[in-house]
Structure 1
């Protein structure tokens, strides 16, 4: 198979993945249509959504915080240089977006190359533009493709760009007017491996394209949005009490206003009379001694609260979000220990994602150090030190570290790193 065929095949795989990615992205942004309705919904309610999907993703991503990086090449400690390179490419900021994409869309990518100054850097890539091919035996990345469109000021596509990453070369293609890919440039890849690292949110062995946190929540969030939309409509239509009056003489409207639709009755004259009371009148007065007034009870919306509570319980069970993060004020923890206990499942989920996605991030760090030191990738050892994902106050952290320091378990430098004094 020639190079152009490989690129076209990779682009086809990228396009086939886009419907699922677009659906997950819409739910993360809260832009999905209102579901479970028998009638067509338009206007403000068409895209009404309770965006718990974003909360579920960010609550895990925000707990995955790197403290420092360490690296050595052939036994030489290059941690200081690694930390400088890490900060230079703004990985603290980039990493949060990458982790959120991996959790929400199922995958994200880190590309390692040099900038215009020749200094190695890491860039974040979206699953909307990048895809990788893997060896079926050892699962190593064999090829990677990035595709993007160049647009003019009106938003029309004027060019399609494709970059093919291979273990020994990086090639740039542009599609011509006949629809064929034409190679524009080529660069030698000194790493010997594909400089694109996939962050696949693997939950099971068969999750080759990544598992999204949103998939488990989609139906429940749609149901919650439907219940709340129904409550809004009910509060507008029937929640306000209606007043009634009997024994009052009706009047004919001077403009011929039809109180009832004549098309709905056999008598064309029926419906000509209207009530003499304006809707906003605070007091009604009549001359007839037989007139009676009353008020119908408004709709009771407490049933919606029961349905909302039931769905929220299911969402909390699936997402591991504690009650106090879901707005259930009656379950607010009373102490820091209670907060940690309530967030134990969420903390465990963040620790699990650190183990899954952390390996790929460390691989990107190794590639960056290998380029910087002009060393073989196999000779580079890199490690990322992560902060604890558990919720802990500064006072509790400092007290625990002080005790460990006094017992000689930690050195002064390790204690400082533990409480984040020397963190990135």
Structure 2
């Protein structure tokens, strides 16, 4: 098959025993060929490798069949064919941040790769500085190499052992004075300032709040402050969800075709996303009350589900509510009979 093959995050739909199977594949393992004129996917190739990275099996997805291949003695052999006659490749390519006219995507972390590399170099230099200039320097005046001798073996001490030693004992028999001084250790504050600068640059490019990158204050952020910090991050997620929803709609359409044998008419499949912001339960309840004028909009089961109860807990609560209603009904009957007797 000709054309240029491009890697992408593949959403694959296959036929299972009872229902369609949907799998999300890494762009490292799958590549697709797209017709630049019609923009149709002409084919997709999924490669399976062993622990050493050697290709062992491959699956070629075509518009009307899926071909399974295995590598034996350096050659690819067809193991089986699945003729599904879909009329299109059962693979949907999900490109992130795709530009118009290009069938390729960009990683969400692409903008901060150089900052990550710079941070790695700064941390490496910081670790080296901690082992060297962060240790207070010592200056010995009036001594020679002979003063740094192991008393047990009579051999010269290792220079690093002497440098890192906490206690020096020098014995002099001459009249020359010996003076040992200590210089202040190197200041590591410059490294810390650089790390803070890099994290601020990353926050500026990604929209991540500084508190998510390790910057914390004594007082916790207020609810309004949290929402203001997350505004760009929430907008980024909403834009990603908009494009991802289109891909997933196609995937579910293919799955419905595999399940029923016919393509769904119109646009019956729509992807709905939850609000990516951080709303509180009180905030959602207040908004719901205001939008409905105070009318109840949830059933008892729905309210329990909203509170996060498990299905077993919901069933038990409903059983207890039924028993309480039955007990109250029996009590009302007995009270009614007692009043009738008194009359």
Give the TM-score normalised by structure 2: 0.75
Determine if contact 1:323/1:332 at 8 Å carries over to the other structure.
no
Residue 235, structure 1, aligned to residue 130, structure 2: yes
User: Residues 252 and 316 (structure 1 numbering): CA distance in 2 closer, same or farther, change over 3 Å?
Assistant: closer
From 131, 141, 165, the counterpart of 1:279: 165
Residues 324 and 331 in structure 1, CA contact (< 8 A), matched pair in contact too: no
Give the structure 2 partner of residue 136 of structure 1: 36
Distance of 1:295 and 1:221 partners within structure 2: 37
Find 1:110's aligned residue among 8, 11, 14.
Answer: 11
Name the structure 2 match of 1:357.
244
The equivalent of 1:257 in structure 2 is: 155
| CA RMSD, Structure 1 to Structure 2 (Å) | 3.7
CA distance in 2, matches of 1:182, 1:278: 64
Matched with 1:184 is 79
Q: CA deviation at 1:360?
A: 0.4
* 1: CA distance, partners of 2:294 / 2:106: 44
Paired residues in the alignment total 304
How far is the alpha carbon of 1:423 from its aligned partner? 12
**Structure 2 residue 64 is the aligned partner of structure 1 residue 168:** yes
Counterpart of 1:121 (choices 18, 21, 25) is: 21
CA positional deviation for 1:244: 3.3
**What SS is found at the alignment partner of 2:284?**
helix
Q: Partner of 1:310 in structure 2?
A: 197
- Establish whether residue 371 from structure 1 lines up as the match of residue 258 from structure 2: yes
Q: What secondary structure sits across from 2:258 in the alignment? A: helix
Question: Which stretches in structure 2 are left out of the alignment for 5+ residues?
Answer: 312-343
Alignment partner of 1:13 is 2:5: yes
CA distance in 2, matches of 1:192, 1:335: 55
Give a deviation string over 1:140-196, Cα, whole Å, max 9, x none: 3222222223x4xx8585x732222222222223345363x4333222214322111
Higher relative contact order (CA 8 A, sep 6+): 1
CA contact (8 A) 1:203 1:211 kept: yes
CA 1:289–1:400 in structure 2 vs 1: closer, same or farther (change >3 Å)? farther
Contact 1:366 1:380 in 2 (8 A): no
Cα 1:339/1:326, change in 2 over 3 Å: same
Moved more, 242-251 or 373-382: 242-251
Whether 1:193 and 2:185 are equivalent positions in the alignment is no
Structure 2 CA distance for partners of 1:243 and 1:184, relative to 1, 3 Å: closer
Task: Compare CA radii of gyration and give the structure with the larger one.
Answer: 2
Aligned to 2:118: 223
Q: Which of 204, 207, 220 in structure 1 is aligned with 2:99?
A: 204
Is the 1:109–1:125 Cα contact (8 Å) retained in structure 2? yes
SS of equivalent to 1:386: coil
In structure 2, distance between residues paired with 1:318 and 1:124:
28
